[in-house]
């Protein structure tokens, strides 16, 4: 199903494989071709939950590497009541699109809820009409909620699973089959380091992200022979609108850094750190990485068994 009109495969053959061959032969001549600038030129990306924070950083990194980027977001602060913080606004979404365009690539805004499969199918048609078929899919939208295990309501459980797991599955089920038909593409999902262990205070979020990891590995299995890879990044705590303030921030800094959770001397990563990892997994340099969950976790991951 693969073809050599695939820009990812072409670049991989011309750059990565040659670089590997050159290294084997004891020369580094081909390594200069690995420079990321323009590496994704001509490719179309779609990032869900891209109006702000991690999703926006992913969109910007892909744009800096030359991809045109459609940004999909629910874009309504009150759209999912009871989660304890506002979702992104239409202004956030429009600003993200403008920042992507400022990188010299095309962009478009799509307002949709990833729980709504029909809306995602309309989104796919809109992106294909305006930018072209999607080469790089970044399902990133999610809600981050917490509740003591024995106090959690059924609604709190259901909405986390519905957005984070069902919504991510909807996104992949709508956008990945056309990639498989075309014989090329990348799916890079935003999971979480909490999908590596349990947690008493946010079982609904943890379980939804463990489900996402299983979904990614299954998508990878389904799409591998069609030339499509599926991976995830698993970030530790990242700066967001949910940051604690004042004393609570100091306590969080203490609890998360220097072996508290992260092994390294940092509590909260910046969104761009996640953008870098996603952009790498979307690039020709990651052509043969699939089914992998990549921790971007400042060493929190040293305690996982594998
Ligand atoms: N911030 C962290 O500490 C952290 C750590 C690990 C993983 N993550 C993951 O990173 C991703 C982004 O999180 P963030 O911290 O940037 O949060 P965020 O709330 O800033 O961004 C999430 C975006 O998704 C959008 N969104 C939410 N529900 C949606 C829906 N149903 N349909 C469409 N859009 C929707 C929101 O409007 C928002 O723009 C999530 O998958 C989250 O689970 C975050």
pLDDT of 205-239, one tens digit each?
999 999 999 999 999 999 999 999 999 999 999 99
Active-site option among 175, 205, 210, 268: 205
The alpha carbon of residue 209 and the mean position of all alpha carbons in its chain are separated, in whole angstroms, by 12
- Is 205 among the catalytic positions? yes
Among the CATH numbers 3.30.460.10, 3.40.1190.20, 3.40.430.10, 3.40.50.720, which is that of 7-299?
A: 3.40.50.720
C-alpha span between 203 and 200 (Å, rounded):
6
Mean pLDDT in residue range 117-139: 98
* Model confidence band, residue 100 (pLDDT cutoffs 50, 70, 90): very high
Non-local (6+) Cβ contacts of 106 within 8 A are 68, 69, 130, 131
Residue range 39-84, pLDDT digits in tens = 999 999 999 999 999 999 999 999 999 999 999 999 999 999 999 9
Q: Whole-prediction pTM value?
A: 0.91
In a 3-state reduction of DSSP, which class is residue 74?
A: coil
Q: Let me know the angle formed at the C-alpha of 128 by 138 and 67, rounded to the nearest 5 degrees.
A: 50
C-alpha span between 199 and 300 (Å, rounded):
14
143 CB within 6 A, ligand 1: yes
Structure tokens at 153: 């309501």
115 CB within 6 A, ligand 1: yes
Sheet containing 68-73, strands listed edge to edge, beginning at the edge strand earlier in sequence: 107-111, 68-73, 44-48, 136-138, 185-190, 228-235, 293-296
268 CA closest ligand 1 atom index: 3
């Amino acid at each position: 199903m693969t073809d050599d009109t695939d820009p990812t495969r072409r670049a991989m053959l011309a750059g990565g494989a040659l670089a590997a061959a050159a290294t084997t032969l004891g020369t580094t001549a081909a390594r200069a071709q690995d420079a990321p600038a323009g590496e994704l030129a001509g490719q179309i990306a779609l990032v869900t939950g891209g109006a702000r924070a991690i999703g926006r950083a992913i969109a910007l990194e892909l744009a800096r590497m030359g991809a045109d980027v459609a940004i999909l977001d629910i874009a309504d602060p009150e759209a999912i009541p009871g989660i304890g913080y506002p979702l992104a606004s239409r202004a956030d979404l429009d600003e993200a699109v403008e920042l992507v365009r400022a990188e010299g690539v095309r962009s478009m805004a799509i307002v949709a809820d990833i729980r709504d499969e029909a809306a995602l199918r309309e989104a796919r048609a809109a992106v294909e009409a305006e930018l072209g078929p999607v080469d790089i899919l970044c399902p990133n939208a999610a809600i981050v909620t917490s509740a003591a295990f024995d106090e959690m309501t059924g609604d709190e459980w259901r909405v986390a699973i519905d957005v984070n797991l069902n919504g991510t599955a909807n996104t992949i089920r709508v956008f990945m089959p056309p990639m498989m038909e075309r014989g090329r593409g990348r799916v890079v999902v935003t999971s979480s380091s909490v999908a590596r262990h349990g947690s008493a205070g946010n079982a609904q979020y943890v379980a939804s992200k463990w489900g996402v990891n299983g979904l990614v590995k299954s998508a990878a299995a389904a799409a591998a022979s069609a030339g499509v890879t599926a991976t995830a990044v698993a970030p530790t705590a990242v700066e967001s609108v949910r940051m604690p303030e004042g004393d609570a921030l100091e306590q969080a800094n203490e609890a998360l850094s220097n072996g508290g959770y992260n092994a390294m001397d940092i509590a909260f990563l910046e969104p761009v750190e996640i953008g870098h990892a996603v952009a790498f997994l979307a690039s020709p340099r990651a052509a043969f990485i699939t089914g992998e969950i990549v921790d971007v976790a400042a060493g929190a991951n040293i305690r996982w068994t594998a």
